[in-house]
Structure 1
Amino acid sequence: MVILGSGQFRYRVETQWAQLPEGWTLGDVPGVGVDSRDRVYVFSRGPNPVAVFDRDGAFHGSWGGDVFTHPHGVHITPDDLLYLTDDGDHTVRRCTADGRVLLQIGDAGNPAPFMSGRPFRRCTHTALAPDGDIWVSDGYQNARVHRYSPDGELRWSFGDCGAGPGEFNLPHALHCDADGMVYVADRENHRVQIFDDAGMFVTEWRNLHRPSSIVPLPGEPKAWLIGEIGPVMRFNRGAHNLGPRLSIVDEHGRLITRLCISPSAGLEPGQFLSPHGIAVDSHGDIYVAQVGATAWPQLFPGQDAPAHFPSLQKLVRID
């Protein structure tokens, strides 16, 4: 049994949680979300982009094969609507739990000009504000955060390429809290930036390495779970204390504990290749989505890739 974390944040690793239909493999899984009934929606880059499981891992169906080009981010609202961000066709889609598309934001297949600030150019993630507005991080070939009305009309945008307050170097994921504060994982600037609901910079958290995903943990004290991906440059590839890993921080961004059994990337339970998407259920259990096939040649150049990657792990909270 592999145990991660410390104190009140201790978890048991379950690597074979998802009970896939015969012949299925998930491939890269960039995103995962959990609804109000603890159903788990796995957003993968394969022939069945959205796969649905219960919290015990039993399979409950799939959809989206004729909709999505290159899945990236998942956000699920309190009333169980899914916001699915596709960086391949530059869109965000609001869907029902059974796959009916209710709203599309973005012109599929027609990206905005590179670094223009106009939506979208490989958008990355979506989050709903308390008032129902839609925030979108936009992302790989832009440096922008956009705010939309509930019916998909652009209200305004902010951000520019750079490393200063309110500037971004790959805004990769975001979350809105109950007070309307917006937390943006500014990945290649190695920080989380925090803004008020008017898009004004408030503060930043820095004790991080390439943060790719961010979600709050349930209960008290307030804490945040952050997925960090590892170094890929030749000079520090495989270096210790840089990830990939999961980190838990308090409401001020101070480190509480880190979840990993090794200071570097790997395939063993409790190791990670790229914790690209994360979600937490009502019990405090964590679901970790990974893009292993994408990360492998960056982390282990020249080495043969395994036949299958650990693209989805569950961490069960230990009371």
Structure 2
Amino acid sequence: MKLEQDMKRNVLVGAAFATVLMGLGLASGVLQSAAQGQGAMQAPRFEVDPMWPKPLPNGWYLGQTIGVSVDAQDHIWIIHRSDSLDPVEAAADEGTGACCRKAPPIMEFDQQGTLLRHWGGKDGPGYQWPASNHGLTIDHKGNIWIGGNGANNDGHVLKFTQDGKFLMQIGIKQAGLGPDSNSQER
């Protein structure tokens, strides 16, 4: 009787072991196929389109573009720093040249590069524009959020509609804030 039980147990253990080995073999094959399929995928290649965006109105020029986001309509939104130009370039805005004026910092373009909307750049009722624009994102409702990184005074973010209507300011713009983003004074 004991011999019979030992034999049954050995058969069951052997069958379980064989089942586990077959399962591992199948899993290995599936994983290998998946890995080979992923190996064929490549990162997208992007090309610069020198004609994008289309020429801006009013002789406007762009400074450093430091924020880009795409909305639900596949429109491209940028925030740029028009004050980032060198003195010769900036002199054109002061009337020295006949061509150039600073573009508003927030600009919306369609996929073809046509300017659709533009706004921003100055303090308004209830909000303080950043000393140095830095970053733009669009939330799930289509609202535009911007921030700044001006030396020792940009401790806030702003929220606007896509038409530039002010909705909210979180934090403050105040001299002497320093780099501590955890400051309770913001």
TM-score range, shorter chain: 0.5 to 0.7
Which residues in structure 2 correspond to 1:222-261 (within 5 Å)? none
Q: Structure 2: how far apart are the matches of 1:93 and 1:28?
A: 20
Aligned partner of 2:136: which letter?
A: V
Q: Please give the per-residue CA displacement for 1:147-185, whole angstroms capped at 9, x wherever unaligned.
A: xxxxxxxxxxxxxxxxxxxxxxxxxxxxxxxxxxxxxxx
User: Do structure 1's residue 23 and structure 2's residue 59 form an aligned pair?
Assistant: yes
1:97 aligns with 2:133: no
Please tell me the residue identity of whatever aligns with 1:86. Answer: G
Q: Is 1:7 equivalent to 2:42 in the alignment?
A: yes
| Residue 26 of structure 1, CA deviation | 0.4
Is 1:62 aligned with 2:135?
no
- Residue type at the aligned position of 2:166: V
Q: CA 1:44/1:52 → structure 2, altered by over 3 Å: closer, same or farther?
A: same
Counterpart CA distance in 2 for 1:17 and 1:83 is: 24
The 8 Å contact of residues 66 and 79 in structure 2, kept in 1 or not, is answered as yes
Between the aligned partners of 1:119 and 1:75, the Cα distance in structure 2 is 24
Q: Could you tell me how far 1:7 is from its partner in structure 2?
A: 2.6
Q: CA deviation at 1:22?
A: 4.3
AA partner of residue 169 (structure 2) = Q
What stretches of structure 2 of length at least 5 have no aligned partner?
1-40, 83-101, 124-128
> What is residue 149 of structure 2 aligned with on the other side?
87
Q: 1:103 to 1:111 in 2, by over 3 A?
A: farther
> Where do residues 134-153 of structure 1 align in structure 2 (5 Å cutoff)?
none
Superposition CA RMSD, Å: 2.3
Q: Is the 8 A contact 1:29 1:44 kept in 2?
A: yes
In the TM superposition, what is the alpha-carbon distance from 1:16 to its structure 2 partner?
2.6
More strand by share: 1
- What amino acid is aligned across from residue 52 of structure 2 in structure 1? W
Provide the residue aligned with 2:78 in structure 1.
42
**Alpha-carbon contact 1:53-1:61 (below 8 Å) kept:** yes
Letter in 2 for 1:28: Q
Q: Is the 8 A contact 1:84 1:92 kept in 2?
A: yes
- 4+ long deviations beyond 2 Å: 10-13, 109-117
Cross-structure match for 1:290: none
Separation in 2 of the partners of 1:119 and 1:54? Answer: 40
Q: Secondary structure at the match of 2:57?
A: coil
Distance, in Å, in 1 between the alignment partners of 2:143 and 2:164 is 10
The answer to whether structure 1 residue 32 and structure 2 residue 88 are counterparts is no
Could you tell me how far 1:27 is from its partner in structure 2? 1.0
Following TM superposition, by how much is the alpha carbon of 1:119 offset from its aligned partner in structure 2, in angstroms?
Answer: 5.6
TM-score after normalising by structure 2: 0.55
Cα 1:112–1:54, aligned 2, differ >3 Å: closer, same or farther?
Answer: same
- Partner residue in 1 for 2:135: 73
Taking structure 1 as reference, are residues 40 and 117 closer, same or farther at Cα in structure 2, changes over 3 Å only? Answer: same
- Give me the whole-angstrom Cα distance separating, in 1, the residues matched to 2:180 and 2:139: 29
Cα distance in 2 for residues equivalent to 1:86 and 1:34: 19
Residues 29, 116 of structure 1: CA spacing in aligned structure 2 closer, same or farther, 3 A cutoff?
A: closer
The separation in 1 between residues aligned to 2:113 and 2:134, in whole angstroms, is 22
Aligned to 1:55, what secondary structure does the other structure show?
A: coil
Q: Which runs of 5+ in 1 are unaligned?
A: 1-5, 122-319
SS at 1:14's partner residue?
A: coil
Q: Distance in 2 between matches of 1:87 and 1:36?
A: 27
Q: CA deviation at 1:10?
A: 2.2
Question: How many residues are paired up?
Answer: 116
TM-score of the superposed pair, with normalisation by structure 1: 0.33
Query: Helix, strand or coil: the match of 1:9?
Result: coil
* Cα separation, 2, equivalents of 1:10 and 1:102: 38
> How far apart are the structure 1 equivalents of 2:173 and 2:116?
29
